[in-house]
Amino acid sequence: MRKLRLIGTTLALFMGVALFAPHSADAARKKKPEAAAAEPVAIEQPIPLEPAGLDFGKTAKEVTAIYSKAIDKDYGKAYTEVEPGTEQRRLDEEVQREKDAFKKSILVLDAPPSNMDGTRFVGEFTYGNAEAVMRSVRQGKERTLFFIGDKLWKVIDIYELAEKSKMGADFKSAVAHIEKMTGVPGRSRAANPEQGRRFDEVDWANAKIHLRLIHWDEKKVAVAFVERATAARLSELRAHKEKPPVDMDPAVKGVLR
Question: 46, 56, 37: which is closest to 233 by C-alpha?
Answer: 56
Please give the Cα distance from 241 to 80 (Å, whole number): 52
Residues in the chain: 257
∠102-107-109 over CA atoms, to 5°? 160
Helix (H) or strand (E) holding 143: strand 141-148
Please give the Cα distance from 36 to 188 (Å, whole number): 8
- β-strand 41-42 against 201-205: which pairing, if any? parallel
Please give the Cα distance from 67 to 203 (Å, whole number): 27
Q: What's the start-to-end Cα distance of the chain, in Å?
A: 59
User: At residue 74, what is the residue type?
Assistant: D
∠180-181-183 over CA atoms, to 5°? 65
- What local confidence, expressed as pLDDT, does residue 79 receive? 94
Helix (H) or strand (E) holding 210: strand 209-215
Taking only the tens of pLDDT, the chain with its 257 residues reads 444 343 343 333 334 333 333 444 444 444 444 455 689 999 988 888 999 999 999 999 999 999 999 999 999 999 999 999 999 999 999 999 999 999 999 999 999 999 999 999 999 999 999 999 999 998 778 999 999 999 999 999 999 999 999 999 999 999 999 999 999 999 999 999 988 899 999 999 999 999 999 999 999 999 999 999 999 999 999 999 986 544 445 554 454 44
> CB 204: neighbour CB atoms within 10 A?
25
Please give the Cα distance from 203 to 188 (Å, whole number): 7
Please give the Cα distance from 236 to 207 (Å, whole number): 21
- What local confidence, expressed as pLDDT, does residue 115 receive? 96
Exposed, middle or buried, 217 (CB in 10 Å: 0-12/13-18/19+)?
Answer: exposed
pTM over 0.95: no
Please give the Cα distance from 62 to 248 (Å, whole number): 46
∠37-21-222 over CA atoms, to 5°? 55
